[in-house]
Each structure stands twice: as structure tokens, then as C-alpha cells.
Amino acid sequence: MTANAALKARRDRTIGPYSPLFYDEPLQFVRGSGVWLEEANGERYLDGYNNVPHVGHANGRVVAALAEQAATLNIHTRYLNERVVDYSERLLSTFAPRLDRILFGNSGSEANELALRIARQLTGSTGVIVSDYSYHGTTITLAELTTGLRTREPLGPHVRTLRIPDLDRDQRPEAEVLAETLAELDAAIASLLDEGYGVSASLFDPLFSTEGMPRVPEGLVAGIVERVRRAGGLVIADEVQSGFGRTGGWMWGHDFAGMTPDLVTMGKPMGNGHPMSAVVTSEAILDEFGSRNEFFNTFAGNPVSAAVGEAVLLEMEAEGLMDRAKRLGAEARAEFDRLAATHDFVRAAKGTGLFLGLDFAVDGVPAPELAKRVVEGMKARNVLISRIGRDESVLKVRPPLAFGEAELPILLGALTDSLSDI
């Protein structure tokens, strides 16, 4: 038995055989540095997939902040704690002025749960609108509105789904697609009101990442926001994937989408792998919730997490990661567009900043098996990527934001070669 097979057998007997693994033959990494991961035998892989190690695997500044604060003090927020206030001020300064309060958590699931809990309480309604191919977390409430992966729970009776159109797939005029989608939304809202659920919130990722980064009609997001608010609901932006400068030109996905939500949730890249998350909202919303609930989260906002979160922001700034992501993202996107134009099984290039994809289709039919072959082909060339979208036909290229000039040609070269194999 190989070392990996032996480890897999022990894994099956502890965390179980259903705990998901990437690739037909899973990989085992033993160390990481920057945008590279290394196997026990020294074989190195370029990380073109992982967004959690945002400023790079084992980043020196983050590790130092973590170690220093953990050696000094780690405590909950029932005692005064300057680090959580320092970090909150720094993080909140990246938002529009009316988003000026923060509640910490330990995972994206906790953040989305809390945002929905707040929205339900404030509106007195339970109805929720999500996209028809999305994922927001693991809890019971979130499982009942999961459309993008398999859960045993059926969709809740208070949940309505909206099909997010993709102009790269739908060839009709943009205005027609927009009108049709907003009419669907109007019908969904009317049905929530008719059935007595009301509208508590819409919950969307402003990039529509899980959906496969569709090219949506101009005015779609504004139309959703306007209709949800008119129906009495709050607008939640799930920035677990789209936040922290992922798009290069914008710190937050909702800025990219041109709107200001009522609640913003964030997680994955926030602590570079340290478990932390947050809900950002307005003073009025926080006070309304805070005054009516004894709310406390033991680990959330501890000084170690705050030190780590602050180090991530400082590192982004010191290294100019957003500017670099914007520049490299544009370069990469141009090459993705060229690959789309020169391969007839690539329908379109997708994405913005350092979140890019290629949508595979043959005769207009999504071709997930081709996408899978490219993912495995990239692995054979020591580059990690994955797939997304309702058909799993879209490549998911979403490296650490610390991705650099030196790595881009490696990724693009491997991608060109992998496409040549098809």
C-alpha cells in the first residue's frame, strides 16, 4: 500500500470515507509557502485554487502575529480587549460609511446564519431569496436554502430561487433577459407574500461564484436590491468568496456589483486559514438586534483572531496585492479570452481579478467531462485548479491573492498545454 493509501485508510476510520477529497488520486501536502504547496517527496504544486491562504501559505507576517498574540493573551470579549477594537476599526474603514458595525464569528456558516437571524428578527418575515445554484453554509437553516450541492433537506417552503442568467449562454438581447429575470423575481416575491412568509432577505454572492461566474445583464443586481427592499426585505451580500480584494479593483464584491447591502458576510480569506468570520452592518440594525437578544460567541473576536485578521489587511496593503491582482487578473483574463476564441469547445472566458474560468461546451451543451480532464491535466502539470457552475463545466482558477508575476506564465502555460490535450 502506498503512503497515501495507508493514510486514506486511517482517514476513512476516523473522519470517514465521505469527507470529500479532490482528484481521482488525492494529493497529500506537507508544507506550503506563498503560492506553492509541497508533497512529502518534495514535488511542488502551484496553487491556482485556494483562496483561504489569501496572502500566501504560511505567510510570515500572519504567522508572526498569530504566534506573538497567542503567546501573550487569548481571551473572549467579555473583558475589554483593544486588539478587537483596533482590527474592527481598520476593517470597517474599508466599507461605505453606513456599514459601520461588526459582529464576529468563526466560519462563513456562522456569519450567514447570523445575518439571516438578524434579518428574520428585524423584518418579522422568514421568506428568503437565493440563486438556484448557490451554497452559503452547513447549518440546518442554510441547508434548507442550499441549491448548489446535495443535501438531504428539501428546499424550505419559505425559500424561493432565482435563476441567474448568463449572457455568454443566453443569446437573446440583454434587455429581454433582464426583464425576464426580474419578472421571475417579482413572481417569487409575490408568492412569498401571498403565502404569508413575507420577505426577510435576499442572500447572494455578488460575483455569483458558485453559479459559475455568469455574465449577468447590466441592472440585474440593482433590480434585485430595489425589489427586495420594496418588499420589506434586507439585502445580504455573501462575500465569503468575493471579498477582501478578490476582484482586484474592488475590496468588496458588492462594490464591484455597484450596490450597498444591509448586511455583509465574510469568512474564508479573512484570517488566511485561521477560523474567523464576520457580519458587517449598520448601527441601527446592530442596535435593534443587540438590544433584544443576549448574543455572545465564545471564540469570536478574540485577540488572536483580531491580530491575524489585522496582519492579513496589513500584508495586502504592504504588498499592494489588490493592485497586483487587478493587473495580473487583466493579463490572465486576456489570455483566457484568447483561449476561448481559439478553442471551439470553450464557450467563454469568465471572471474578474484573480477569480477566472473557462466554460466548456460542445455544440452548446455544457461539457463537464472536458473541464474535469483539464483539471486533471493541470494537476499532471503540477498546477492546482478546480471546477464550478451548475454543470461543473467552468474551470475555477482562484489562487491566493498573493499570486505573482513569476507564477502567471506557469499557470497559463500549463493551461494552454492541458487544452491541447483535449
Query: Do the Cβ atoms of 28 and 249 come closer than 8 Å?
Result: no
* Closest approach of its own copies to the CB of residue 156, in Å: 11
- The angle formed by the CA atoms of residues 320, 35 and 422, to the nearest 5 degrees, is 115
Q: Which three cell numbers stand for residue 116?
A: 439571516
Output 100 or 168, the one with its CB closest to its own copies.
100
What string of DSSP letters covers 331-395? HHHHHHHHHHHH-TTEEEEEEETTEEEEEEEETTEE-HHHHHHHHHHHHHTTEE-EEESTTS-EE
Output 153 or 317, the one with its CB closest to its own copies.
153
Q: Which three cell numbers stand for residue 127?
A: 421568506
Output 58 or 330, the one with its CB closest to its own copies.
58
Q: How far apart are CA 124 and CA 165, in angstroms?
A: 30
* Closest approach of its own copies to the CB of residue 88, in Å: 4
Side-chain-side CA neighbours of residue 222 (13 Å)? 7
Output 290 or 413, the one with its CB closest to its own copies.
290
* Closest approach of its own copies to the CB of residue 387, in Å: 13
* Closest approach of its own copies to the CB of residue 159, in Å: 14
Categorise residue 23: left if φ over 0, alpha if ψ from -120 to 50, beta otherwise.
Answer: left
Within 8 A by CB and 6+ apart from 210, the residues are: 131, 133, 134, 135, 148, 241, 388, 389
Output 61 or 347, the one with its CB closest to its own copies.
61
Output 127 or 165, the one with its CB closest to its own copies.
127
Reduced to 3 states, what is the DSSP secondary structure of residue 277?
Answer: strand
* Closest approach of its own copies to the CB of residue 180, in Å: 30
Output 153 or 344, the one with its CB closest to its own copies.
153
* Closest approach of its own copies to the CB of residue 391, in Å: 16
* Closest approach of its own copies to the CB of residue 111, in Å: 11
Output 21 or 334, the one with its CB closest to its own copies.
21
Output 202 or 277, the one with its CB closest to its own copies.
277
Dihedral of alpha carbons 349, 352, 356, 357, sign = negative
* Closest approach of its own copies to the CB of residue 272, in Å: 8
* Closest approach of its own copies to the CB of residue 343, in Å: 28
Output 224 or 308, the one with its CB closest to its own copies.
308
156, 160, 162, 254: which is closest to 199 by C-alpha?
Answer: 160
Q: Which three cell numbers stand for residue 140?
A: 440546518
* Closest approach of its own copies to the CB of residue 143, in Å: 7
Within 8 A by CB and 6+ apart from 306, the residues are: 69, 81, 83, 84, 86, 87, 88
Q: Identify the burial level of 347 via C-beta atoms within 10 angstroms of its C-beta, where 0-12 means exposed, 13-18 middle and 19 or more buried.
A: buried
